[in-house]
Chain A
Amino acid sequence: MTMTLDSRQLPPDAAADAPAPSVRPSTWRLVRANGAVRLGATALTVLAVVAVAAPWLGTVDPAAIDPASINLAPGTHAPFTDLSGASADHFFLMGADGFGRDTWSRVAYGARISLFVGFAVAVLAVLGGGLIGLLAGYFRRLDGVLMRLMDGFMAIPNILLAIALVSMFRASLWTIVLAITLPEIPRVARLLRSIVLSVREEPYVEAAIALNTPTWKVLWRHVLPNAVAPLIVHATYVCGSAMLVEAILSFLGIGLSPEIPTWGNIMSEGRVNFNEHPQHVLFPGAFLALTVLAVNILGDGLRDTLDPKLRRRGD
């Protein structure tokens, strides 16, 4: 995807009037130099490595049960014997839970679900909401219907809408992703619609239309490049909030089944024995909080560098 305006498309004076394209190579240099972006991106990279390399990071099968290790304290060296009788020396970094499963293994594998859900929801919400916002902003006849529909969805509080959707369909990774994506779509649609509404009156868009440019090309070449920066920033925040909502659904016991460890359902199972063994809630909770914090710091850094207008308004 090219993100630069094609100046050959424009008459000379319109090209001079056109605002600079929102994402340019020099902007990326600015982004890379930003401290918040570096901090957030580094933390997320480390976490992604943990998620991918989980099998080689001193973990055992996260679903394996060792009755002898039930509620073992964090930092214990002990043999891990699963139900088939296979035994190996193991270091219980975060102890073992009420079923005798290694908590560190569950937390490390749980990172996979959080990262996947955050990323998938951000991408799908931007695609879905972006398409609706683009249509509503550019084709005035669709505007009323589409935006009233979006208003309707926004009237149902996010988490309740996700809960309702999950309750209707059996919880699987994709139904969870869709249930979290749907409530996010109206906000993306509104954002893109407002950008389209302001850009469509620009002289270079009028010029492109006057030159008989096909509509898809006007949208792709002249309208969408203006939306790239705000959409990237917004997608980051959607990613963070999606991780939180996934954890909330799992924590409430209506997310993925406990056979697939997620930070939310580790905490959900751990809370039964919270008074005696708070580590089963506090370890995954700390991972979740730090991950979302990293995503939000990354988002703030991107906002400051990519979207200076937003910074002035929101800050």
Chain B
Amino acid sequence: MAAFILRRLLSTLPVLLFVAVFVFLILRLAPGDPAALIVGDMGTEADIARVRQSLGLEGPLPAQFLHWVGELLRGNLGESYYFKTGVTELIAQRLEPTLSLAAFTIVLAVLIAVPLGVIAAARHGGWLDRALMGFSVLGFSVPVFVIGYALIWVFSLHLGWLPVQGYSRLSNGVGPWLSQLVLPALTLSLVYTALIARVTRAAVSEALTEDHVRTARAKGLAERAVLMRHALANAAVPIVTVIGIGIALLIGGVVVTETVFAIPGLGQLTVDAVLSRDFPVIQGVILLFSVVYVLINLLIDLSYVLLDPRIRY
């Protein structure tokens, strides 16, 4: 068991190393001298040389990489060209909206998708089953921003139930925070819901064909208990796996949703950074998102032991 956890932890190292090398190369391969960009038009050759020195831009690439990783491990992601402040501080400021949106979306998607998938599997071929399959194809096809604008059009402009755009910090009260987050979270959760519901339906359908389910029914167990205790419990591994894989989809969606709803989070920071060619910020955000994605999937792999007692490493 401990050996498995250790092996799984070690196997993420090459992936993280690859991500680090790629992110490092973004800045080095991008056209233009970062030192000249920081100093600006008024700088002298001496200024540029000094900045190069302080950024660790001297010497061969592997040495530069080691310097960069060293700074990284101390929490220093470099300095934004545009804001002239540390990338770590910039990210910290923008974390709350993005975390709120992502957490709200995951909760919403799981609460909607899992029951839908279970019911669809229980009534295989019924109207809800077919509606769900149709909805999931639609969910994969309609782009996030089209859904977002369609929802704004209906709920904010026509019905006037919810605010159009913006974000209210949690410190300003839970009410405004929730009402500002409902539409973006609904928008973002659609594709995620489609994905999870589809996999839940498939996994529960498969579990329902197994012998122990037949036994449970034969001994007269209520259908509800059969579904929950015998089918859903056995379908937990694929469902949890797809929730983890779907995080990638969610991260891409966050960038778009924040732009549509004018939420000042990490997604908007990314887009602004690309538009102003602020490479240290681009590096920081991509590194953060990728590491979070890798770590969540690591945790999910480790959780299999809890979800399925048959799995013993």
Task: List A residues at the B interface (Cβ < 8 Å).
Answer: 148-149, 151-153, 155-161, 163-164, 166-169, 240, 244, 247-248, 251-254, 267, 271, 274-275, 278, 281-282, 285-286, 288-289, 292-293, 295-297, 300, 313-315
Leading 7 A-B pairs by shortest Cβ distance: A152-B18, A159-B252, A285-B146, A293-B141, A157-B248, A292-B141, A289-B142
- Is B141 a contact of A296 with CB atoms below 8 Å? yes
Known contacts A155-B16, A156-B289, A315-B202; 4 further A-B pairs (Cβ under 8 A): A156-B286, A159-B252, A285-B149, A288-B143
Task: Say yes or no: A163-B141 contact (C-beta < 8 A), given A148-B14, A289-B146, A314-B202.
Answer: no
Residue pairs across A and B with Cβ atoms less than 8 A apart, 8 shown, are A153-B18, A155-B293, A158-B248, A158-B252, A161-B286, A167-B26, A251-B143, A297-B137
* Whole-angstrom CA separation of A153 from B157 in the bound complex: 41
The answer to whether A292 touches B142, judged by C-beta atoms less than 8 angstroms apart, is yes
Q: How far is the CA of A285 from the CA of B271 in the complex (A)?
A: 20
Q: How far is the CA of A152 from the CA of B15 in the complex (A)?
A: 5
Contact A152 B146, beta carbon cutoff 8 Å: no
Residue of A nearest to B275 (CB): A253
Please tell me which one of the listed residues A160, A168, A267, A281 contacts residue B251 in the complex, with CB atoms under 8 A apart.
A160
Question: Could you mark each residue 40-69 of chain B with 1 if its beta carbon is under 8 Å from any beta carbon of chain A, else 0?
Answer: 000000000000000000000000000000
Query: Which residues, 118 to 161 on B, are CB-close (under 8 Å) to A?
Result: 137-138, 140-146, 149-150, 152-153, 157
A152-B14, A167-B26, A285-B146 known; A252+B259 contact, CB < 8 A: yes
In the complex, chain A residues whose CB is within 8 Å of the CB of B31 = 168-169
Contact residues in B for A252 (Cβ distance below 8 Å): 255-256, 259, 271, 274
- With a CB–CB cut-off of 8 A, which chain A residues contact B285? 160
How near does chain B come to A141, taking the closest CB pair, in angstroms?
17
Cβ–Cβ < 8 Å partners of A274 in chain B: 149, 152-153
Assuming the A-B contacts A152-B14, A289-B141, A296-B140, are A157 and B293 also in contact, with contact meaning beta carbons closer than 8 angstroms in the complex? yes
CA separation between A184 and B41, bound complex, in Å? 40
| Complex interface: chain A residues within 8 A of B83 (CB) | none
**B275 contacts A254, CB within 8 Å?**
yes
CA distance A159 to B256 in the complex (A): 10
* B149 engages A167 (CB within 8 Å): no
| Bound-complex Cα distance A292 to B31 (A) | 34
Q: How far is the CA of A160 from the CA of B294 in the complex (A)?
A: 14
How many residues on B have C-beta within 8 angstroms of the other chain's C-beta atoms?
Answer: 51
Residue of B with least CB distance to A281: B149
> Which of A156, A166, A300 has most B Cβ within 10 Å?
A156
For B293, what are the chain A residues with a Cβ–Cβ distance below 8 Å? 155-157
Partner of B270, one of A151, A160, A295, A296: A160
The residue from A149, A155, A159, A247 contacting B290, defined by CB atoms under 8 A apart: A155
Q: Does B311 contact A (CB under 8 A)?
A: no
Measured in the bound complex, the distance between the Cα atoms of B18 and A182 in whole Å is: 15
- Tell me which of B142, B143, B248, B271 has the highest count of chain A C-beta atoms within 10 A of its own C-beta: B143
- Chain A residues contacting B146 (CB-CB under 8 Å) are 267, 281-282, 285-286, 288-289
B289: which A residues are within 8 A, CB to CB? 156-157, 160
Bound form: Cα–Cα A166–B26 in Å: 11
Residues of A within 8 A of B164 (CB): 275
Q: Which of A161, A252, A278, A289 has the most CB of B within 10 A?
A: A252
Query: What CA separation (Å) do A293 and B164 show in the bound complex?
Result: 27
Give Cα A218 to B26, complex, Å.
40
CB pair A149–B18 under 8 Å, yes or no, is yes
Q: Are A151 and B15 in contact (CB under 8 A)?
A: yes
In the assembled complex, B22 has its CB within 8 A of some CB on chain A: yes
Q: Are B294 and A155 in contact (CB under 8 A)?
A: yes
Interface check B30, CB cutoff 8 A: yes
Contact call B30/A167, Cβ cutoff below 8 A: yes
Considering the chains assembled together, what is the distance between the CA atoms of A106 and B144 in angstroms? 21
Residues of chain B within 8 A of A151, CB atoms compared:
14-15, 18
Known: A160-B252, A167-B279, A300-B137. Is A155-B18 also a contact (CB below 8 A)? yes
Binary A-proximity of B279-303 (CB < 8 A = 1, otherwise 0): 1001001100110011000000000
Question: B162 at interface (Cβ–Cβ under 8 A)?
Answer: no
Quick check: B137 and A156 within 8 Å, CB to CB? no
Asked if B19 and A155 sit within 8 Å, CB to CB, the answer is yes
CB of B6 within 8 Å of the partner chain: no
CA distance A9 to B142 in the complex (A): 48
Distance of B91 from chain A, by nearest CB (Å) = 14
- Of A168, A247, A254, the residue contacting B26 (CB under 8 A) is A168
Cβ-defined contact, A160 with B255, below 8 A: yes
- Roughly how many angstroms separate A200 CA and B202 CA in the complex, as a whole number? 29
In the bound complex, do residue B271 and residue A247 qualify as a contact, i.e. CB atoms below 8 Å apart?
no
B277 interfacial contact with A, CB 8 Å: yes
Does A278 contact B30, Cβ atoms closer than 8 Å?
A: no
**What residues of B have a CB within 8 angstroms of the CB of A278 in the complex?**
149, 153, 157
| Cα of A156 to Cα of B26 in the assembled complex, Å | 13
B29 an interface residue at 8 Å Cβ cutoff?
Answer: yes
